[in-house]
Structure 1
Amino acid sequence: MAEITASMVRDLREKTGAGMMDCKKALVEANGDMEAAIDWLRKKGLSAAAKKSGRVAAEGLIGVASAPRRAAMVEVNAETDFVARNELFQNFVATVAELALTVGEDVEALKNARWPGSVDLVEGGSAHRTVAEQLTHLIATIGENMSIRRIRMLHVNEGAVATYVHSAVKPGLGKIGVLVALEGASETAVMEALGRQIGMHVAAARPEALDISAVEPSALEREKAVLTEQAQASGKPEAVIQKMVEGRIRKYYEEVVLLEQVFVIDGESRVKEVVKKAGATLSGFARYQLGEGIEKQQSDFAAEVAAAAGQG
Protein backbone atom coordinates (compact mmCIF):
# COMPACT_ATOMS: atom_id res chain seq x y z
CA MET A 1 0.00 0.00 0.00
CA ALA A 2 1.41 3.34 -1.04
CA GLU A 3 1.91 5.98 1.63
CA ILE A 4 -0.72 8.74 1.35
CA THR A 5 0.88 12.02 2.39
CA ALA A 6 -0.74 15.31 3.32
CA SER A 7 0.78 16.96 0.25
CA MET A 8 -0.85 14.33 -2.01
CA VAL A 9 -4.23 15.04 -0.42
CA ARG A 10 -3.69 18.78 -0.83
CA ASP A 11 -2.73 18.39 -4.50
CA LEU A 12 -5.82 16.28 -5.18
CA ARG A 13 -8.03 18.88 -3.48
CA GLU A 14 -6.51 21.60 -5.66
CA LYS A 15 -7.15 19.60 -8.82
CA THR A 16 -10.72 18.52 -8.03
CA GLY A 17 -12.24 20.78 -5.38
CA ALA A 18 -13.39 17.70 -3.44
CA GLY A 19 -13.34 17.49 0.37
CA MET A 20 -10.23 16.51 2.28
CA MET A 21 -11.56 13.17 3.57
CA ASP A 22 -12.95 12.27 0.15
CA CYS A 23 -9.57 13.02 -1.40
CA LYS A 24 -7.78 10.89 1.15
CA LYS A 25 -10.20 7.99 0.58
CA ALA A 26 -9.81 8.33 -3.19
CA LEU A 27 -6.01 8.13 -2.90
CA VAL A 28 -6.28 5.07 -0.65
CA GLU A 29 -8.63 3.36 -3.13
CA ALA A 30 -6.28 4.26 -6.00
CA ASN A 31 -3.16 3.18 -4.06
CA GLY A 32 -1.69 6.66 -4.41
CA ASP A 33 -2.26 7.02 -8.18
CA MET A 34 -3.33 10.66 -8.71
CA GLU A 35 -5.07 10.12 -12.07
CA ALA A 36 -6.96 7.06 -10.79
CA ALA A 37 -7.97 9.02 -7.68
CA ILE A 38 -9.39 11.81 -9.86
CA ASP A 39 -11.43 9.23 -11.79
CA TRP A 40 -12.63 7.64 -8.52
CA LEU A 41 -13.91 11.01 -7.28
CA ARG A 42 -15.63 11.71 -10.59
CA LYS A 43 -17.35 8.30 -10.59
CA LYS A 44 -18.67 9.05 -7.11
CA GLY A 45 -19.90 12.46 -8.27
CA LEU A 46 -17.48 14.23 -5.96
CA SER A 47 -15.45 16.04 -8.60
CA ALA A 48 -16.10 17.72 -11.92
CA ALA A 49 -12.47 17.62 -12.97
CA ALA A 50 -12.11 16.17 -16.46
CA LYS A 51 -8.35 15.94 -16.56
CA LYS A 52 -5.21 16.63 -14.62
CA SER A 53 -4.75 20.39 -14.53
CA GLY A 54 -1.22 20.67 -13.19
CA ARG A 55 0.29 23.76 -11.64
CA VAL A 56 1.91 26.29 -13.92
CA ALA A 57 5.33 26.87 -12.46
CA ALA A 58 7.93 27.89 -15.08
CA GLU A 59 8.40 31.56 -15.90
CA GLY A 60 9.60 33.26 -19.08
CA LEU A 61 7.74 34.18 -22.27
CA ILE A 62 5.84 32.80 -25.23
CA GLY A 63 6.96 34.44 -28.48
CA VAL A 64 5.24 34.42 -31.89
CA ALA A 65 6.44 35.54 -35.32
CA SER A 66 4.69 35.67 -38.70
CA ALA A 67 5.53 35.57 -42.39
CA PRO A 68 3.27 35.17 -45.44
CA ARG A 69 1.22 31.96 -45.03
CA ARG A 70 3.14 30.76 -41.98
CA ALA A 71 3.80 31.57 -38.34
CA ALA A 72 5.94 30.19 -35.52
CA MET A 73 5.60 30.09 -31.74
CA VAL A 74 8.24 29.36 -29.10
CA GLU A 75 8.41 29.01 -25.34
CA VAL A 76 11.55 30.18 -23.57
CA ASN A 77 11.66 29.52 -19.83
CA ALA A 78 13.44 31.30 -17.02
CA GLU A 79 13.45 30.97 -13.24
CA THR A 80 11.56 34.13 -12.25
CA ASP A 81 8.89 36.41 -13.66
CA PHE A 82 11.30 39.29 -13.23
CA VAL A 83 13.32 38.06 -16.22
CA ALA A 84 10.26 38.29 -18.49
CA ARG A 85 10.40 42.08 -18.02
CA ASN A 86 14.08 42.22 -18.96
CA GLU A 87 14.58 43.80 -22.40
CA LEU A 88 17.55 41.53 -23.21
CA PHE A 89 15.44 38.46 -22.53
CA GLN A 90 12.49 39.86 -24.50
CA ASN A 91 14.71 40.55 -27.50
CA PHE A 92 16.14 37.03 -27.28
CA VAL A 93 12.68 35.42 -27.33
CA ALA A 94 11.52 37.62 -30.23
CA THR A 95 14.62 36.71 -32.26
CA VAL A 96 14.24 33.00 -31.51
CA ALA A 97 10.63 33.13 -32.75
CA GLU A 98 11.78 34.81 -35.99
CA LEU A 99 14.48 32.17 -36.49
CA ALA A 100 11.93 29.39 -35.96
CA LEU A 101 10.12 30.59 -39.09
CA THR A 102 12.97 29.22 -41.20
CA VAL A 103 14.51 26.56 -38.95
CA GLY A 104 11.23 24.80 -38.05
CA GLU A 105 10.12 22.85 -34.98
CA ASP A 106 13.39 21.06 -34.12
CA VAL A 107 14.67 22.64 -30.89
CA GLU A 108 18.18 21.23 -31.33
CA ALA A 109 18.39 22.53 -34.90
CA LEU A 110 17.32 25.95 -33.65
CA LYS A 111 19.99 25.90 -30.94
CA ASN A 112 22.61 25.18 -33.58
CA ALA A 113 21.37 27.94 -35.88
CA ARG A 114 23.46 31.05 -36.39
CA TRP A 115 22.60 33.97 -34.13
CA PRO A 116 21.96 36.97 -36.39
CA GLY A 117 24.39 39.89 -36.28
CA SER A 118 26.69 38.34 -33.67
CA VAL A 119 30.32 37.44 -34.30
CA ASP A 120 32.76 36.09 -31.71
CA LEU A 121 36.49 36.37 -32.38
CA VAL A 122 38.33 33.08 -32.05
CA GLU A 123 41.93 32.14 -32.55
CA GLY A 124 42.85 32.27 -36.22
CA GLY A 125 39.76 34.09 -37.43
CA SER A 126 36.14 34.66 -36.51
CA ALA A 127 33.11 32.43 -35.98
CA HIS A 128 29.43 33.23 -35.80
CA ARG A 129 27.76 32.63 -32.47
CA THR A 130 24.98 30.01 -32.37
CA VAL A 131 21.62 30.41 -30.66
CA ALA A 132 22.81 28.07 -27.90
CA GLU A 133 25.93 30.19 -27.37
CA GLN A 134 23.84 33.35 -27.30
CA LEU A 135 21.61 31.75 -24.68
CA THR A 136 24.68 30.84 -22.59
CA HIS A 137 25.86 34.43 -22.89
CA LEU A 138 22.44 35.69 -21.79
CA ILE A 139 22.42 33.35 -18.80
CA ALA A 140 25.80 34.69 -17.73
CA THR A 141 24.65 38.28 -18.24
CA ILE A 142 21.34 38.04 -16.38
CA GLY A 143 22.46 35.45 -13.84
CA GLU A 144 19.49 33.10 -14.16
CA ASN A 145 19.03 29.71 -15.78
CA MET A 146 17.01 29.68 -19.03
CA SER A 147 16.01 27.19 -21.70
CA ILE A 148 14.27 26.98 -25.07
CA ARG A 149 11.53 24.49 -24.28
CA ARG A 150 9.45 23.99 -27.44
CA ILE A 151 8.57 25.30 -30.89
CA ARG A 152 5.46 25.06 -33.06
CA MET A 153 5.03 26.20 -36.64
CA LEU A 154 1.95 26.18 -38.91
CA HIS A 155 1.69 27.00 -42.61
CA VAL A 156 -1.01 27.10 -45.30
CA ASN A 157 -0.88 26.82 -49.09
CA GLU A 158 -3.52 29.51 -49.54
CA GLY A 159 -4.85 31.72 -46.78
CA ALA A 160 -3.18 32.90 -43.58
CA VAL A 161 -1.78 31.75 -40.26
CA ALA A 162 -3.00 34.25 -37.69
CA THR A 163 -1.40 34.82 -34.29
CA TYR A 164 -2.76 35.98 -30.96
CA VAL A 165 -0.91 36.73 -27.73
CA HIS A 166 -2.91 37.19 -24.55
CA SER A 167 -1.84 40.01 -22.18
CA ALA A 168 1.17 40.83 -24.33
CA VAL A 169 4.09 42.56 -22.59
CA LYS A 170 5.25 43.60 -26.06
CA PRO A 171 3.92 42.82 -29.55
CA GLY A 172 4.31 39.07 -30.04
CA LEU A 173 5.42 38.34 -26.46
CA GLY A 174 3.26 37.17 -23.55
CA LYS A 175 2.12 34.33 -21.30
CA ILE A 176 -0.33 32.66 -23.72
CA GLY A 177 0.22 32.38 -27.47
CA VAL A 178 -2.02 30.95 -30.20
CA LEU A 179 -1.55 30.09 -33.89
CA VAL A 180 -4.57 29.56 -36.17
CA ALA A 181 -4.20 28.23 -39.73
CA LEU A 182 -7.02 29.20 -42.12
CA GLU A 183 -7.09 27.92 -45.69
CA GLY A 184 -9.11 29.87 -48.24
CA ALA A 185 -9.14 32.31 -51.13
CA SER A 186 -10.44 35.33 -49.21
CA GLU A 187 -8.31 38.44 -48.78
CA THR A 188 -5.38 37.93 -46.43
CA ALA A 189 -6.51 40.77 -44.14
CA VAL A 190 -9.96 39.16 -43.80
CA MET A 191 -8.46 35.76 -43.01
CA GLU A 192 -6.05 37.23 -40.48
CA ALA A 193 -8.84 39.14 -38.72
CA LEU A 194 -10.98 36.00 -38.43
CA GLY A 195 -7.94 33.98 -37.38
CA ARG A 196 -7.15 36.47 -34.62
CA GLN A 197 -10.74 36.18 -33.31
CA ILE A 198 -10.47 32.39 -33.34
CA GLY A 199 -7.11 32.77 -31.59
CA MET A 200 -8.81 34.75 -28.82
CA HIS A 201 -11.38 31.96 -28.58
CA VAL A 202 -8.66 29.28 -28.36
CA ALA A 203 -6.84 31.22 -25.62
CA ALA A 204 -10.04 31.34 -23.55
CA ALA A 205 -11.70 27.98 -24.36
CA ARG A 206 -8.57 25.77 -24.31
CA PRO A 207 -9.67 23.20 -26.93
CA GLU A 208 -7.78 19.92 -26.97
CA ALA A 209 -8.48 18.81 -30.56
CA LEU A 210 -9.30 20.42 -33.91
CA ASP A 211 -12.15 18.07 -34.81
CA ILE A 212 -13.83 14.96 -33.41
CA SER A 213 -11.52 12.61 -35.33
CA ALA A 214 -8.51 14.23 -33.65
CA VAL A 215 -9.65 13.50 -30.08
CA GLU A 216 -7.09 11.28 -28.39
CA PRO A 217 -8.56 7.72 -28.25
CA SER A 218 -7.30 7.07 -24.72
CA ALA A 219 -8.90 10.30 -23.46
CA LEU A 220 -12.19 9.38 -25.13
CA GLU A 221 -12.18 5.85 -23.66
CA ARG A 222 -11.40 7.22 -20.23
CA GLU A 223 -14.29 9.70 -20.52
CA LYS A 224 -16.68 6.94 -21.68
CA ALA A 225 -15.69 4.72 -18.74
CA VAL A 226 -16.39 7.49 -16.23
CA LEU A 227 -19.68 8.50 -17.85
CA THR A 228 -20.85 4.88 -18.11
CA GLU A 229 -20.25 4.22 -14.43
CA GLN A 230 -22.03 7.47 -13.53
CA ALA A 231 -25.02 6.50 -15.70
CA GLN A 232 -25.16 2.95 -14.30
CA ALA A 233 -25.53 4.42 -10.82
CA SER A 234 -28.96 5.69 -11.92
CA GLY A 235 -30.25 2.10 -12.03
CA LYS A 236 -31.90 2.64 -15.40
CA PRO A 237 -32.08 -0.01 -18.17
CA GLU A 238 -28.96 -0.63 -20.27
CA ALA A 239 -30.53 0.86 -23.41
CA VAL A 240 -31.28 4.08 -21.54
CA ILE A 241 -27.80 4.14 -20.07
CA GLN A 242 -26.27 3.89 -23.54
CA LYS A 243 -28.34 6.86 -24.74
CA MET A 244 -27.31 8.83 -21.64
CA VAL A 245 -23.64 8.13 -22.36
CA GLU A 246 -24.01 9.06 -26.04
CA GLY A 247 -25.59 12.39 -25.07
CA ARG A 248 -22.86 13.13 -22.56
CA ILE A 249 -20.14 12.26 -25.09
CA ARG A 250 -21.65 14.80 -27.49
CA LYS A 251 -21.41 17.33 -24.67
CA TYR A 252 -17.81 16.27 -24.10
CA TYR A 253 -17.00 16.97 -27.75
CA GLU A 254 -18.54 20.43 -27.41
CA GLU A 255 -16.18 21.10 -24.52
CA VAL A 256 -12.87 19.85 -25.98
CA VAL A 257 -13.17 20.02 -29.80
CA LEU A 258 -12.46 23.44 -31.33
CA LEU A 259 -14.82 23.16 -34.29
CA GLU A 260 -17.66 21.97 -32.02
CA GLN A 261 -17.25 24.70 -29.40
CA VAL A 262 -19.52 27.74 -29.15
CA PHE A 263 -17.63 30.76 -30.49
CA VAL A 264 -16.83 33.02 -27.54
CA ILE A 265 -17.02 36.13 -29.71
CA ASP A 266 -20.78 35.85 -30.39
CA GLY A 267 -21.76 33.25 -27.77
CA GLU A 268 -24.11 31.48 -30.20
CA SER A 269 -22.47 30.01 -33.31
CA ARG A 270 -20.27 26.94 -33.43
CA VAL A 271 -16.73 27.66 -34.54
CA LYS A 272 -17.24 25.38 -37.56
CA GLU A 273 -20.23 27.51 -38.63
CA VAL A 274 -18.23 30.74 -38.34
CA VAL A 275 -15.40 29.30 -40.44
CA LYS A 276 -17.78 27.91 -43.08
CA LYS A 277 -19.60 31.24 -43.38
CA ALA A 278 -16.26 32.91 -44.11
CA GLY A 279 -15.60 30.45 -46.94
CA ALA A 280 -12.54 29.11 -45.16
CA THR A 281 -11.20 25.85 -43.73
CA LEU A 282 -9.61 25.70 -40.30
CA SER A 283 -6.68 23.35 -40.91
CA GLY A 284 -4.84 23.62 -37.62
CA PHE A 285 -4.23 25.49 -34.37
CA ALA A 286 -1.72 25.56 -31.54
CA ARG A 287 -1.96 26.99 -28.04
CA TYR A 288 0.98 27.50 -25.69
CA GLN A 289 0.54 28.60 -22.10
CA LEU A 290 3.71 29.47 -20.27
CA GLY A 291 4.90 26.67 -18.02
CA GLU A 292 1.98 24.29 -18.62
CA GLY A 293 2.91 20.78 -17.60
CA ILE A 294 5.84 21.92 -15.47
CA GLU A 295 5.54 21.93 -11.70
CA LYS A 296 7.82 24.04 -9.55
CA GLN A 297 9.00 22.54 -6.30
CA GLN A 298 6.99 24.03 -3.45
CA SER A 299 9.09 25.01 -0.46
CA ASP A 300 8.24 25.92 3.12
CA PHE A 301 10.24 29.10 3.67
CA ALA A 302 9.72 29.11 7.44
CA ALA A 303 10.99 25.52 7.64
CA GLU A 304 14.01 26.40 5.51
CA VAL A 305 14.89 29.31 7.82
CA ALA A 306 14.45 27.15 10.91
CA ALA A 307 16.64 24.41 9.39
CA ALA A 308 19.33 26.94 8.49
CA ALA A 309 19.29 28.17 12.10
CA GLY A 310 19.65 24.62 13.38
CA GLN A 311 16.12 24.49 14.72
CA GLY A 312 14.59 22.11 12.11
Structure 2
Amino acid sequence: MNRVYSRKWGVRHNPAVRQEIDSLDAENDAQRIVHLLAAYEFAWEFNRALEVALFYTYGSEPVSKLLDRTAEFEKHGQKRYDDTALLIGYFIEFGWDGEVGRRAIERMNQTHAHYRIHNDEFLFVLWTFIAFPIRWTERYGRRPMTRHEQQAWFNFWRGIGERMGIQDIPRSKPEYDAWTQRYEARTFVYSEASARVSDATVRIIEGWLPGILRFGVKPIVCCLMPQQFLDAVGYPHPRPWLRHSVEGTLRLVGGVRRIFAIGRYPGETAKRKQRTYPSGYAIEEMAPVNLSTRVPRRGATAAGRSRPENSSR
Protein backbone atom coordinates (compact mmCIF):
# COMPACT_ATOMS: atom_id res chain seq x y z
CA MET A 1 0.00 0.00 0.00
CA ASN A 2 1.29 3.47 -0.90
CA ARG A 3 2.41 5.61 1.99
CA VAL A 4 0.45 8.75 2.95
CA TYR A 5 2.58 11.62 4.25
CA SER A 6 1.93 14.39 6.77
CA ARG A 7 3.58 17.78 7.12
CA LYS A 8 6.89 18.01 8.95
CA TRP A 9 6.40 19.83 12.25
CA GLY A 10 2.85 20.52 11.10
CA VAL A 11 3.87 23.33 8.71
CA ARG A 12 6.72 22.19 6.44
CA HIS A 13 6.85 20.00 3.35
CA ASN A 14 7.85 16.47 4.26
CA PRO A 15 11.30 15.68 2.77
CA ALA A 16 10.37 12.00 2.69
CA VAL A 17 8.10 12.73 -0.28
CA ARG A 18 11.02 13.87 -2.40
CA GLN A 19 13.12 10.98 -1.17
CA GLU A 20 10.47 8.55 -2.38
CA ILE A 21 10.26 10.33 -5.75
CA ASP A 22 14.03 10.10 -6.19
CA SER A 23 13.93 6.37 -5.41
CA LEU A 24 11.37 5.60 -8.12
CA ASP A 25 11.80 4.90 -11.83
CA ALA A 26 10.67 7.74 -14.11
CA GLU A 27 9.05 5.35 -16.59
CA ASN A 28 7.77 2.35 -14.63
CA ASP A 29 6.69 4.43 -11.61
CA ALA A 30 5.47 7.54 -13.46
CA GLN A 31 1.95 7.28 -12.02
CA ARG A 32 3.17 7.23 -8.42
CA ILE A 33 5.68 10.03 -9.02
CA VAL A 34 2.99 12.24 -10.57
CA HIS A 35 0.67 11.57 -7.65
CA LEU A 36 3.39 12.61 -5.20
CA LEU A 37 4.19 15.73 -7.20
CA ALA A 38 0.55 16.80 -7.56
CA ALA A 39 -0.62 15.89 -4.05
CA TYR A 40 2.36 17.07 -2.01
CA GLU A 41 5.17 18.92 -3.79
CA PHE A 42 3.31 21.14 -6.27
CA ALA A 43 -0.42 20.99 -5.52
CA TRP A 44 -0.96 24.75 -5.85
CA GLU A 45 1.51 25.17 -8.71
CA PHE A 46 0.06 22.41 -10.85
CA ASN A 47 -3.52 23.65 -10.40
CA ARG A 48 -2.57 27.16 -11.52
CA ALA A 49 -0.38 25.93 -14.36
CA LEU A 50 -3.07 23.63 -15.76
CA GLU A 51 -5.60 26.48 -15.60
CA VAL A 52 -3.24 28.63 -17.67
CA ALA A 53 -2.56 25.69 -20.01
CA LEU A 54 -6.27 25.26 -20.71
CA PHE A 55 -6.60 28.98 -21.42
CA TYR A 56 -3.58 28.87 -23.73
CA THR A 57 -5.22 26.28 -25.97
CA TYR A 58 -7.68 28.97 -27.10
CA GLY A 59 -4.86 30.54 -29.08
CA SER A 60 -5.22 27.69 -31.57
CA GLU A 61 -7.85 28.61 -34.14
CA PRO A 62 -9.01 24.99 -34.73
CA VAL A 63 -9.36 24.34 -30.98
CA SER A 64 -11.30 27.55 -30.39
CA LYS A 65 -13.59 27.01 -33.38
CA LEU A 66 -14.74 23.69 -31.92
CA LEU A 67 -15.24 25.16 -28.43
CA ASP A 68 -17.05 28.16 -29.88
CA ARG A 69 -19.31 25.98 -32.00
CA THR A 70 -20.45 23.91 -29.02
CA ALA A 71 -21.02 27.14 -26.99
CA GLU A 72 -20.42 25.16 -23.80
CA PHE A 73 -18.06 27.73 -22.32
CA GLU A 74 -20.46 30.52 -23.21
CA LYS A 75 -23.62 28.89 -21.85
CA HIS A 76 -22.34 26.45 -19.22
CA GLY A 77 -18.85 27.74 -18.55
CA GLN A 78 -18.52 26.90 -14.87
CA LYS A 79 -19.63 23.31 -15.45
CA ARG A 80 -17.20 22.82 -18.33
CA TYR A 81 -14.42 24.32 -16.22
CA ASP A 82 -15.19 22.11 -13.21
CA ASP A 83 -15.64 18.97 -15.31
CA THR A 84 -12.31 19.47 -17.04
CA ALA A 85 -10.46 20.22 -13.80
CA LEU A 86 -12.00 17.23 -12.02
CA LEU A 87 -11.36 14.70 -14.77
CA ILE A 88 -7.73 15.79 -15.11
CA GLY A 89 -7.39 15.79 -11.33
CA TYR A 90 -8.71 12.25 -11.05
CA PHE A 91 -6.31 10.61 -13.46
CA ILE A 92 -3.40 12.63 -12.03
CA GLU A 93 -4.36 11.52 -8.53
CA PHE A 94 -5.29 7.90 -9.27
CA GLY A 95 -3.35 7.20 -12.48
CA TRP A 96 -4.65 5.12 -15.34
CA ASP A 97 -4.37 1.85 -13.41
CA GLY A 98 -6.79 2.88 -10.66
CA GLU A 99 -10.52 2.45 -11.19
CA VAL A 100 -11.33 6.14 -10.68
CA GLY A 101 -8.58 7.19 -13.08
CA ARG A 102 -9.78 4.73 -15.72
CA ARG A 103 -13.33 6.03 -15.38
CA ALA A 104 -12.14 9.63 -15.79
CA ILE A 105 -10.24 8.79 -18.98
CA GLU A 106 -13.22 6.84 -20.29
CA ARG A 107 -15.58 9.75 -19.59
CA MET A 108 -13.24 12.13 -21.40
CA ASN A 109 -12.91 9.81 -24.40
CA GLN A 110 -16.69 9.40 -24.63
CA THR A 111 -17.10 13.17 -24.84
CA HIS A 112 -14.38 13.59 -27.47
CA ALA A 113 -15.91 10.81 -29.59
CA HIS A 114 -18.91 13.04 -30.34
CA TYR A 115 -16.79 15.61 -32.17
CA ARG A 116 -14.52 15.56 -35.20
CA ILE A 117 -11.15 16.53 -33.68
CA HIS A 118 -7.96 16.32 -35.71
CA ASN A 119 -5.03 14.47 -34.16
CA ASP A 120 -2.93 17.65 -34.28
CA GLU A 121 -5.34 19.42 -31.92
CA PHE A 122 -5.17 16.52 -29.47
CA LEU A 123 -1.36 16.61 -29.66
CA PHE A 124 -1.27 20.36 -29.01
CA VAL A 125 -3.57 20.27 -25.99
CA LEU A 126 -1.65 17.31 -24.55
CA TRP A 127 1.60 19.27 -24.95
CA THR A 128 0.23 22.20 -22.92
CA PHE A 129 -0.48 19.86 -19.99
CA ILE A 130 3.13 18.67 -20.13
CA ALA A 131 4.87 21.99 -20.68
CA PHE A 132 3.01 24.51 -18.55
CA PRO A 133 3.49 22.86 -15.12
CA ILE A 134 7.21 22.47 -15.86
CA ARG A 135 7.44 26.15 -16.84
CA TRP A 136 5.41 27.28 -13.85
CA THR A 137 7.62 25.51 -11.33
CA GLU A 138 10.72 26.98 -13.01
CA ARG A 139 9.36 30.53 -12.89
CA TYR A 140 7.10 30.68 -9.84
CA GLY A 141 7.27 27.39 -7.96
CA ARG A 142 8.57 26.59 -4.52
CA ARG A 143 11.36 24.87 -6.44
CA PRO A 144 11.92 23.77 -10.06
CA MET A 145 11.02 20.23 -11.03
CA THR A 146 14.10 18.04 -11.29
CA ARG A 147 15.06 16.34 -14.57
CA HIS A 148 13.89 13.06 -13.07
CA GLU A 149 10.50 14.56 -12.17
CA GLN A 150 10.14 16.22 -15.56
CA GLN A 151 10.80 12.91 -17.30
CA ALA A 152 8.22 11.12 -15.15
CA TRP A 153 5.71 13.92 -15.82
CA PHE A 154 6.34 13.58 -19.57
CA ASN A 155 6.03 9.79 -19.44
CA PHE A 156 2.78 10.05 -17.51
CA TRP A 157 1.12 12.37 -19.99
CA ARG A 158 2.41 10.34 -22.89
CA GLY A 159 0.66 7.36 -21.30
CA ILE A 160 -2.54 9.37 -20.96
CA GLY A 161 -2.29 10.37 -24.61
CA GLU A 162 -1.92 6.76 -25.68
CA ARG A 163 -5.05 5.85 -23.73
CA MET A 164 -6.86 8.66 -25.51
CA GLY A 165 -5.90 7.16 -28.85
CA ILE A 166 -3.65 10.08 -29.83
CA GLN A 167 -1.29 9.15 -32.66
CA ASP A 168 2.35 10.09 -33.30
CA ILE A 169 3.13 11.46 -29.82
CA PRO A 170 6.79 12.58 -29.87
CA ARG A 171 9.17 10.41 -27.87
CA SER A 172 10.91 13.27 -26.05
CA LYS A 173 9.98 16.72 -24.77
CA PRO A 174 12.48 18.58 -27.00
CA GLU A 175 10.98 16.81 -30.02
CA TYR A 176 7.49 17.68 -28.77
CA ASP A 177 8.46 21.33 -28.21
CA ALA A 178 9.73 21.56 -31.80
CA TRP A 179 6.52 20.03 -33.15
CA THR A 180 4.45 22.51 -31.11
CA GLN A 181 6.38 25.50 -32.45
CA ARG A 182 5.50 24.42 -35.99
CA TYR A 183 1.87 23.86 -34.99
CA GLU A 184 1.57 27.29 -33.37
CA ALA A 185 3.09 28.96 -36.43
CA ARG A 186 0.18 27.54 -38.46
CA THR A 187 -2.73 27.94 -36.06
CA PHE A 188 -2.04 30.92 -33.77
CA VAL A 189 -3.79 33.52 -35.90
CA TYR A 190 -6.43 35.98 -34.82
CA SER A 191 -9.89 34.44 -34.74
CA GLU A 192 -13.18 35.77 -33.46
CA ALA A 193 -13.88 32.29 -32.11
CA SER A 194 -10.68 32.45 -30.05
CA ALA A 195 -11.68 35.86 -28.72
CA ARG A 196 -15.19 34.69 -27.76
CA VAL A 197 -14.01 31.55 -25.95
CA SER A 198 -11.33 33.55 -24.12
CA ASP A 199 -13.84 36.20 -23.07
CA ALA A 200 -16.24 33.51 -21.85
CA THR A 201 -13.50 31.99 -19.69
CA VAL A 202 -12.55 35.39 -18.27
CA ARG A 203 -16.19 35.80 -17.23
CA ILE A 204 -16.05 32.45 -15.44
CA ILE A 205 -13.05 33.63 -13.40
CA GLU A 206 -14.65 37.01 -12.74
CA GLY A 207 -17.63 35.19 -11.28
CA TRP A 208 -15.42 33.80 -8.51
CA LEU A 209 -14.54 37.28 -7.24
CA PRO A 210 -16.30 40.24 -5.61
CA GLY A 211 -17.34 42.88 -8.12
CA ILE A 212 -14.63 45.33 -7.11
CA LEU A 213 -11.88 42.84 -8.10
CA ARG A 214 -13.28 41.59 -11.38
CA PHE A 215 -11.72 44.34 -13.46
CA GLY A 216 -8.28 42.86 -12.79
CA VAL A 217 -8.89 39.38 -14.19
CA LYS A 218 -8.26 40.08 -17.87
CA PRO A 219 -5.11 42.19 -17.30
CA ILE A 220 -3.66 39.48 -15.06
CA VAL A 221 -4.45 36.79 -17.65
CA CYS A 222 -2.64 38.90 -20.24
CA CYS A 223 0.41 39.08 -17.97
CA LEU A 224 0.65 35.28 -17.84
CA MET A 225 0.46 34.75 -21.60
CA PRO A 226 3.06 35.14 -24.37
CA GLN A 227 2.65 37.60 -27.20
CA GLN A 228 1.53 35.07 -29.82
CA PHE A 229 -1.42 34.05 -27.66
CA LEU A 230 -2.49 37.63 -26.99
CA ASP A 231 -2.40 38.41 -30.70
CA ALA A 232 -4.40 35.27 -31.54
CA VAL A 233 -7.25 36.17 -29.17
CA GLY A 234 -7.07 39.93 -29.71
CA TYR A 235 -5.98 40.79 -26.17
CA PRO A 236 -3.76 43.82 -25.42
CA HIS A 237 -0.14 43.42 -24.46
CA PRO A 238 0.25 44.31 -20.77
CA ARG A 239 2.42 47.18 -19.67
CA PRO A 240 5.84 45.96 -18.51
CA TRP A 241 5.35 47.27 -14.95
CA LEU A 242 2.13 45.28 -14.59
CA ARG A 243 3.66 42.07 -15.94
CA HIS A 244 6.62 42.48 -13.56
CA SER A 245 4.24 43.07 -10.64
CA VAL A 246 2.17 39.96 -11.38
CA GLU A 247 5.24 37.79 -11.89
CA GLY A 248 6.86 39.19 -8.76
CA THR A 249 3.76 38.38 -6.71
CA LEU A 250 3.75 34.79 -7.99
CA ARG A 251 7.44 34.40 -7.18
CA LEU A 252 6.70 35.72 -3.68
CA VAL A 253 3.99 33.07 -3.26
CA GLY A 254 6.49 30.46 -4.41
CA GLY A 255 8.98 31.72 -1.83
CA VAL A 256 6.42 31.38 0.97
CA ARG A 257 5.52 27.90 -0.23
CA ARG A 258 9.18 26.98 -0.19
CA ILE A 259 9.04 27.37 3.58
CA PHE A 260 5.45 26.43 4.45
CA ALA A 261 3.21 23.65 3.13
CA ILE A 262 0.11 25.77 2.56
CA GLY A 263 -3.25 24.17 1.80
CA ARG A 264 -4.38 20.55 1.95
CA TYR A 265 -1.63 18.00 2.46
CA PRO A 266 -2.14 15.90 0.44
CA GLY A 267 -4.13 18.05 -1.96
CA GLU A 268 -6.75 15.57 -3.13
CA THR A 269 -9.18 16.22 -5.98
CA ALA A 270 -11.94 14.28 -4.22
CA LYS A 271 -11.96 16.73 -1.32
CA ARG A 272 -12.04 19.99 -3.29
CA LYS A 273 -15.24 22.02 -3.16
CA GLN A 274 -16.89 22.48 -6.55
CA ARG A 275 -19.26 25.27 -7.54
CA THR A 276 -21.11 23.09 -10.03
CA TYR A 277 -21.60 20.11 -7.73
CA PRO A 278 -22.18 21.32 -4.16
CA SER A 279 -24.10 18.14 -3.30
CA GLY A 280 -21.78 15.66 -4.98
CA TYR A 281 -21.37 14.12 -8.41
CA ALA A 282 -20.43 11.01 -10.34
CA ILE A 283 -17.71 10.93 -12.97
CA GLU A 284 -20.16 9.58 -15.54
CA GLU A 285 -22.23 12.80 -15.22
CA MET A 286 -19.37 15.03 -16.38
CA ALA A 287 -20.56 15.43 -19.94
CA PRO A 288 -21.23 18.64 -21.87
CA VAL A 289 -24.82 19.75 -21.42
CA ASN A 290 -25.53 19.49 -25.15
CA LEU A 291 -24.57 15.79 -25.00
CA SER A 292 -26.21 14.91 -21.71
CA THR A 293 -29.29 13.41 -23.33
CA ARG A 294 -27.30 11.51 -25.94
CA VAL A 295 -24.40 9.98 -24.03
CA PRO A 296 -25.38 6.76 -22.24
CA ARG A 297 -24.26 6.60 -18.64
CA ARG A 298 -22.22 3.68 -17.44
CA GLY A 299 -23.76 1.36 -14.89
CA ALA A 300 -22.94 2.47 -11.36
CA THR A 301 -19.95 0.77 -9.79
CA ALA A 302 -19.80 -0.19 -6.15
CA ALA A 303 -17.84 2.97 -5.43
CA GLY A 304 -20.25 5.09 -7.44
CA ARG A 305 -23.27 3.69 -5.58
CA SER A 306 -21.74 4.10 -2.15
CA ARG A 307 -20.63 7.71 -2.44
CA PRO A 308 -20.10 10.62 -4.80
CA GLU A 309 -16.47 11.11 -5.82
CA ASN A 310 -16.09 14.33 -3.84
CA SER A 311 -17.20 12.85 -0.51
CA SER A 312 -14.76 11.93 2.21
CA ARG A 313 -13.23 8.52 1.90
- Fold shared by both chains (TM-score > 0.5): no
TM, length-normalised to structure 2: 0.25
Higher strand share: 1
The structure number with the bigger radius of gyration is 1
TM, length-normalised to structure 1: 0.26
Higher helix share: 2
| RCO higher in structure (CA 8 A, sep ≥6) | 2
